[in-house]
Amino acid sequence: MGSRIATRQKAVTAPAGPLDARPEEVDPAFQRAILKIAIELRKPNAPSYETIVEATIESMRLEGDAFRRYLGENGARNMSLLLATARAAGL
């Protein structure tokens, strides 16, 4: 009869680093702010996009830099969806 030899394999793991870091959680107010911006843009004689964004940041007391970064990363996609929905609903 043959003998059995137990072997152990060492688990290889990558060092913890930026790739393992959890993404920042998004403030739910940012999504509400995008909706508010989309509704404001749909109004007749709406001011400029930048004016509406600035007013929304102030009125909702958002962290301006974080919200603008969120808009840069996600805003165009979210805004186009919201505007399409507003047009379809006749808002």
Residue 61, domain member (yes or no): yes
11 domain-assigned: no
Tell me whether residue 36 is in a domain: yes
Tell me which H or E stretch contains 85: helix 76-89
The reported pLDDT for the residue numbered 20 is 46
For residue 54, the enclosing domain spans: 28-89
Please indicate, yes or no, if residue 75 is contained in any of the structural domains: yes
Based on the structure, what is the number of domains in the chain? 1
pLDDT digits (tens, 9 = 90+) for 20-71: 444 567 889 998 998 898 889 888 888 888 899 999 999 999 999 999 888 8
Angle separating helix axes 28-42 and 76-89, nearest 10 degrees: 50
Mean pLDDT of the 9-26 span: 56
Cβ atoms of residues 31 and 78 within 8 Å: yes
Asked if residue 56 is part of any domain, the answer here is: yes
- The answer to whether position 70 is within a domain reads yes
